[in-house]
Structure 1
Amino acid sequence: MATSGGTTQAADVYDEVRKVTSSTDLANHRLQERRVSAATIAELDSRLPNVGVADVLASANHSMKSVSSGQCAAREAKALPVKPGYSSGYCWDTGDATTQRWLPQGLTSSGDADNDGLWGTNKVILSGWKSNDDGFFKKYDASQTKYPNSRNLTRVAFIDANDPTAMKYRWVLLVVPTEGGANFDNLGANIGGMAWFGDKLMITAKGDDASDNALFVFSMKHILQATVNDNPIGRVSGGYSAHGYQYVMPAIGSYGLKSGGCGTATGISCAASMSVDRSATPDSIVLNEWQSSSAPKIGRTWSYRLAAPSEAGMPLEVDASGHANVSEMFTADVSGVQGALWYTDPATGKRSWYMPKHRGGPGQQGVYYNRDAQGRTTTTCSGTDSAGACWAAHSQGMSLWWNGKTVWSQTEWAANASGQWVDDANSGWQSSVIRERVLFSVPLSSMP
């Protein structure tokens, strides 16, 4: 049975999580490990200063504001979840709160990376953003001449979360090595999902990735500092530039699907989000596909086992052929799901799939869903656009900070009142932007 705001209803195919046992489905989603050669990585390292996470945090040049301080816009505060309620909420520096050229997507943290929640001595949250190619650039830069080198970019905010009253961050551009490590170029990934485990960072690729990559891999041991502050990406006169960013992370490897990649033609699901499941044995990453939120749609969510952290190794457990095999796969209603968690309560053994629904309209709150094999649990509330819309507005990636059991997520939108992107080259454009981008946390214990 399933409960919805206290009302019991019969579970159906759209409510339940059901295990997939098809050997074909499982085999189709196995991943081939692909490594960038050690020589390529060493060559690139030799050409730019190699810094650490602590150095990036120490150079943080953007401040976040706490909703509780009253410094965030009214619509930013309204975008936060109502039930279950948030325990902390933050809004971004003004330029990032209103930019039309970027979209917040995946989220992870040092709470995923290590059991104690620290990377060295720091608490760190990583927020992944992709360039708004299908929205802003498709409308305002279709010729790709108005904003040179701004399309197809991927960046990560390294957030210093040591002091919850004074969070701050620095952007790092994700790149791919070229010319045997003598150069690099923009990565151009979707980053809808992101997971940090040990020193490795994994992000989702685009669904139409030319090399059929499903995931890209980076290392916290390879964060490089640009030597020239210029617009191009890669080698320029006098050194290396990163589109104005101070730091880059070059991919050290990837995981690829079989020829043809993901999509309707192959029947292989494209990963829309990713999270770490530390309640699994061994620790795993969890992925899910995305379907439009307009109506219930059955889709897949699946996992791969994580290998023991190793500086020289890749993050996923692979077989003798170098394949990462699906550990488990399930189907559920994944309409509007752009961030998901799997969690097994160690005290009760109860397994839950947290899969909130992102709704598409301006100002619309999301719908909270906790699913299991018997059905789903949701919530009702007041003061939102719909009694069942109690989750954050347009929420994206989810991450469980294991040490303390706190769920972190973020919201995406900063469109106008009609839900449209605006040209930020026009005078006064910021006044038309509705600020709905927030970073927030919710205690796992409050998520029914």
Structure 2
Amino acid sequence: MKHRGRHRRRRRGAALRAVLAGTALALTAAATMISASQATVAGNPGALKQLTSSSDTAPLRLQEQLVPARTLDRLASSMGRPVGVDAVLRSADHTLREGADCGARDRASLPVDPAPARAWCWDRADAADTAWRPASVTTSGDADDDGFWGPHRVVLSGWTHRAGTGPAAERGLAKVAFVDADDPARPVYRWVLLVVPVDGGRNYRGLVSRVSGMVWYQDKLLVTTESGGDESLYVYNLHRIQRTTVDSPAIGRVPGGWSADGYQYVMPAVGSYRPRTGHCASSGPVACPGALSLDRTTAPDSLVAGEWTAPGGERRARLWRYAFSKDPARSGLLATDAAGRADPVEVYRTRASGVRGVLSYRKAGAARSSWYVGRLPGSRAGHGGLWRQDTEAAKAARCGTDHSHHCWAQGPGSLSYWQETGEVWSVSDRMLFTVPLDTLDRSLE
């Protein structure tokens, strides 16, 4: 399925903006009771400091490693012809519920200020399974700037299984909810398990990693990974989704076919990006990306990353970006040199810690980009904060009787800007929601 160009479907995008621009839902009444339990005001992360020395930028250099085509072809030959996003959406078997139909606990996880324009809670069975939690989101608004993938508006949400809970076979796995968002009143979704080819494509294993950030750009999905400290990002191809043939708890080749812990679809990795110098770690110069987003206001488009650091800790996070390749033969991949090295094109230091979401956007006529940084509270419980930073200052909304900065979502996830509709998409630990960027900016002023 070929994605659409930037010059198409403008009228349809304008109509969608009109549909989505109604009065914001009254979703956060329960969340306004947080002030008494969150009297500590989050520290101001201050202005961004740009880092330009090689000692600061070299540790963020990545080495691209693509899976050989023969490996992917061998897997496809054995499993059957790959399918695309459309096939997954046609088989959607879960339904998201609009915010008004969600429970008080779900709604309490939403931002207090700014209030979401729309919000949805997950299928009841998925919401009740506390071993799996959402942490990241990206959309067809990232994949193509007209906001569509083929005929569909699509949202992808990355979930991770907490390693210490649930069946041993599932511990630490990662999966993606493919959400058909054509009808905002009734989005439906289907799960796809993320896997990694092994043994030259004769088998695959589950991706065991916390997927805290993801970006869908052109036909590729880039996700953050923590596989023994060797990878920073894995790359998936949206045209290479495979059907399984056996329903069992096993993952990979089994007697009679292929299994994926009961999931009907798997998506095998087609490449990865690894640090050139050492392993990424929570201490040391090589940063572990904890959040990702796409910035279409740079030339070329860029992948934005935020460093994972412990909430409330002393380590200050770095924010940086890589340029995407302009080579049509390398759709959705980072720009690299002849040796496959991807260098950061911009690096900043913030005093923020516990970064779970990062978004960079430069408005028309603005002198500089604004960086939106979503943070966990120091205790990892309760509502987080969202700050807008640049090289001059930082601002955040205040809410509650104590006027704290704990106004963002509970267990906040990554951020994704849907340019065609002007919405920022994100997830709490219980819900999927949107906030118009203009509304978000007003709350920060």
Cα separation, 2, equivalents of 1:366 and 1:380: 12
User: For residue 95 of structure 1, what is the aligned residue in structure 2?
Assistant: 125
Equivalences for residues 75-224 of structure 1 within 5 A: 75-133=105-163, 136-137=164-165, 147-206=167-226, 208-209=228-229, 212-224=230-242
Give the structure 1 partner of residue 261 of structure 2.
243
CA gap of 1:314–1:85, structure 2 versus 1, over 3 A, is closer
Matched, 1:39 2:32: no
* Aligned residue in 2 for 1:355: 373
Match of 1:256 among 267, 271, 274: 274
- 1:267 to partner: Cα distance: 1.5
Task: Provide, for residues 311-368 of structure 1, a one-character-per-residue CA deviation record: whole Å limited to 9, x for no partner.
Answer: 6656101011110111100000231210110111123334211012222658622222
Q: Who is 2:310 aligned against?
A: 292
Q: Is 1:62 aligned to 2:67, yes or no?
A: no
Q: How many residues align?
A: 398
* 1:301 paired residue number: 319
Give the TM-score, by structure 1 length. 0.85
Aligned to 1:425: none
Indicate conservation of the 8 Å contact 2:219/2:331, yes or no: no
Higher helix share: 2
Query: 8 Å contact 1:199–1:311 — kept in the other structure?
Result: no
The one-letter code of the counterpart of 1:245 is Y
For 1:248 and 1:52, the matched residues in 2 are separated by 11
State how far apart, in whole Å, the 2-side matches of 1:125 and 1:235 are.
29
Residue by residue over 1:68-94, the C-alpha shift from the partner in whole angstroms, topping out at 9 and shown as x without a partner, is: xx2100121122112122110110111
Which amino acid counterpart does residue 442 of structure 1 have in structure 2? V
Q: Percent identity?
A: 39
Check if 1:395 corresponds to 2:407. no
Query: Paired residue for 2:38?
Result: none
Letter in structure 2 aligned against 1:269? A
2:132, 2:44 → 1: CA distance? 36
CA positional deviation for 1:101: 1.5
Instruction: Check the 8 A contact 1:198/1:310 in 2, yes or no.
Output: no
Report the TM-score when normalising by structure 2: 0.85
Distance 1:14 1:388, change over 3 A: closer
Q: Are the equivalent residues in 1 in contact too, given 2:45–2:394 (CA < 8 A)?
A: no
Matched AA of 1:398: L
C-alpha separation in 1, matches of 2:388 and 2:139: 22
Relative distance call for 1:78 and 1:311 in structure 2 (3 A) is farther
CA contact (8 A) 1:14 1:298 kept: no
- Conserved 8 A contact 2:301-2:324: yes
Aligned to 1:20: 51
User: Structure 2 CA distance, aligned partners of 1:90 and 1:300?
Assistant: 32
What SS does the corresponding residue of 1:252 show, helix, strand or coil?
A: strand
Match of 2:285 among 242, 253, 267: 267
- Letter matched to residue 37 of structure 1: P
Distance 1:93 1:124 in 2: 17
The answer as to whether partners of 1:65 and 1:91 remain within 8 angstroms in 2 is yes
Q: C-alpha root-mean-square deviation of aligned residues, in Å?
A: 2.0
Residue 433 of structure 2 corresponds to which residue in structure 1? 440
Distance 2:345 2:241 in 1: 31
CA contact (8 A) 2:59 2:287 kept: no
Q: 1:351 to 1:395 in 2, by over 3 A?
A: same
The answer as to 2:342 corresponding to 1:339 is no
Give the letter aligned to residue 194 of structure 2.
L
Q: Which residue of 1 aligns with 2:425?
A: 408
| Secondary structure of the corresponding residue to residue 310 of structure 2 | coil
| Alignment deviations for residues 175-194 of structure 1 (CA, whole Å, 9 cap, x no partner) | 01112111111111221110
What stretches of structure 1 of length at least 5 have no aligned partner? Answer: 1-11, 142-146, 413-436
**Aligned-partner SS, 1:180:** helix
1:96-123, Cα deviation, whole Å (9 max, x unpaired): 2121221211211101000101010110
Contact 1:290 1:334 in 2 (8 A): no
Q: Is the 8 A contact 1:194 1:203 kept in 2?
A: yes
Q: Which letter maps to 2:424?
A: V
Per-residue deviation, residues 232-273 of structure 1 (Å, max 9, x unmatched): 001111100011000000000101112531125641111111
Matched residue of 2:133: which SS? strand
* 3-state SS of paired residue (1:54): helix
Amino acid at match of 1:59: S
**Structure-2 separation of matches of 1:309 and 1:402:** 23
Q: Is the 8 A contact 1:360 1:394 kept in 2?
A: no
